Structure 1
Amino acid sequence: LAMLPKHILEKPYREGRFVQSWSLNTPPAEVVGLGPFRVKEYLAGQRIVLERNPYYWKADHDNHRLPYLDELVFLFVGSEDAQVMRFEAGETDMVSRLSSENFALLTKERTRTGSQLVDLGPSLEYNFLVFNLNDLATKKLNIISGKQTWFRDLKFRQAVSAAIDRDSIVRLVYGARGTALWGNVGPGNKLWVNQAIPHPQRSLDASRQLLKSAGFSWNNASQLLDPSGKAVEFSIITSSSNTQRMKMATLVQDDLAHLGMQVHVVPLDFRAMLDRVFQSFAYEAAIMGLGGGDPDPNPEMNVWLSSGSTHLWHLGETQPASDWEREIDQLMQQQMITLNYEKRKRLYNRVQQLIAENLPFVFLATPNVLAGAKAQVGNFHPAVLDHYTLWNADQLYLRTETRGMERAGIR
């Protein structure tokens, strides 16, 4: 539970203005917290400056008050490449969420720069392909609605999953600095991953058998036809600003072409994509990503509960649309109130099993956590938890090279 400042927030809470209390226009002095830093300055589109909180409670083992640094400055940049360029130019001291390409670039420069670069292995993020299974009765989306017969067929989704070359995704999208996924919990989450989830190799033969058993067939041009003789053709939307997911979409497109499916990749502005997924439902399939913040199952409640706000494949369910979703509802609610870890783990293992068996998402891959810092940054120990590089922000410091000693309190 969060502790909030009564002297600042009690009045707006009682007046029903609590949600509006702290906005981008709130004076920094009115934003009060218990952390090692407090807001000093916010310049829209440029930077956020945090200053040392003199009232922070924590001290180090020598009884020196933390944090060591006087300020943290967050710069807004337009892309990851721009972020790396600023890091290389010495304008920033730390960088995270690196792509494998930029990590490789910085690695080549490490001899010259002395930068600290860390590959922590698989992240908690999961990327996936999701088909639109929403109720479209009131949306006047007849073409999409007609294709939902395919999407709702578990054998169709299984065939798609079996046809995807996840190893190629890891190699070509993440430069081998990633891991293939077959479920919502990856190997980076050692506490909660269900090790019993199968990891089948890609098999086009298995895909074809699944499609045949569901009544699909192929014409003389090797084009896949549904049981009514209609050609299987659909589009995949994804964010045009996410280079990695754009690559994934292209690779999935190519993989499914081997089954005779005509797949079109539609890049969209991120906000436009979210509008289609969450509001208009005007899409057929999408490649997206979730997770990355917390290893515990509870933050995932909104995804896996049938009534959840990010239950992406079928939003707005008033009741579970299937028996397996109903069981997941029960399991997730039960694990939330279970205190014993082993019991919670058994419950969540079953959730993962149901997800892997029913494929509401076709899971693809997770990137490794790649981060870096200048040589003078002390106590740089990134972790798989977000924020990867600032979980120990109160203990970070900068070394003063000119005097051959270490000194804190410098940005």
Structure 2
Amino acid sequence: MRKSELIKKFQGQEATIGIVGLGYVGLPLALRFSEVGYPVLGFDIHAGKVARLNAGETLIEHIPSSAIASANARGFSATTDFSRIGEADALILCVPTPLTKHREPDLSFVLDTLASLLPYLRPGQVVSLESTTYPGTTDEELGPRIEKQGLVLGQDIFLVYSPEREDPGNPNFTTNTIPKIVGGRTPACLEVGLALYGQVIDQLVPVSSTRAAELTKLLENIHRAVNIGLVNEMKIVADKLDIDIHEVIAAAATKPFGFTAYQPGPGLGGHCIPIDPFYLTWKAREYGVHTRFIELAGEVNSAMPDYVMMKLAGALNDRCKSIKGSKVLVLGIAYKKNVDDMRESPSVILMEKLRDAGAEVSYSDPHVPVFPETREHHFDLSSVTLTADNVADFDCILLATDHDRFDYGVIAKAALVIDSRGRIPAAANVVKA
């Protein structure tokens, strides 16, 4: 009875949706449910973030404040009070899943969040995990903890894994247009999960289990990590052969089948691609499997900042300068173009390497006006405005993230440009890295 009643509430848009974690994944999802007409309650542990959302302010650059204000007008609100968990019919967990210092899965955010929910769970709810994780997490970690509350999965409460597929800053896809994978702990859980997402997502892709859904997400990200590792290695080979790898990629991309173009860069960034493959390598070791291919791609991508540093040092040396004492301007500190997301950004790693080598480091990023406070990276800097005069003040310009808002005509006039993204035409003052 609970299953049919809950499905009916979702189909009638009468269910209250609880989104736990209001970041790059949770906030767009909350706005989508609100847009369709569901009552939405957002949960987050950061009081400042909650206050800004309730005041109609955005937290993410590509989401306008008007979208938050509109959702507020429709009844969306955010809270730090987890005792209100019982008000929600659906609880969607959108929290980070980073790695430990030993590159092993860190489920502390997921498990701590679940611990905050457990005292307030009730029959007739669905819990959906969207955080990327290793196969078995939903079944082995979440399921037993929920059952200890006296709730029977598939009867009293429903457990789902449905991985996020957000691509921040990509105007070609929105939350509702990206097909969504859904796996349930039981067949009844899957039915409820499909009803939960069915009104807000254009296409659902049901799979046989939460484990299959978890592995699907990892495969997607590993596919990208491995192919980016391949093209990064090809970039090094092409450089030795005095061939422009970007010309080669563009030519290869004209093949209408069997080839997908990936672009090289100074490393991997974002919360997914540099991290998620190691969730599978860790789990695979439990079964005696050594994932050499995945780990090799990780090694190649992790080494790219050192390759860029080598090219930069060599270029300065050719001009009778050293890194120490040189004024270096890093262009773009977000992990990819046209966003303000700095998670795992290779640009920041490059800034630290330059600082450690004695350079006077500055940065310019129209999407990040002030270097934010983070747990691991510390720079008391603000973004430098790019002008012809400013560019002339630096010994070296390092293009790390190729935002469209940069004036590449001005950048190309610098004394020395280290181009890790292939955006600047070849010239005597431009070194490809």
- Give the TM-score of the pair, scaled to structure 2: 0.28
Bigger proportion of residues as strand: 1
Bigger relative contact order, structure 1 or 2 (CA pairs below 8 A, ≥6 apart): 1
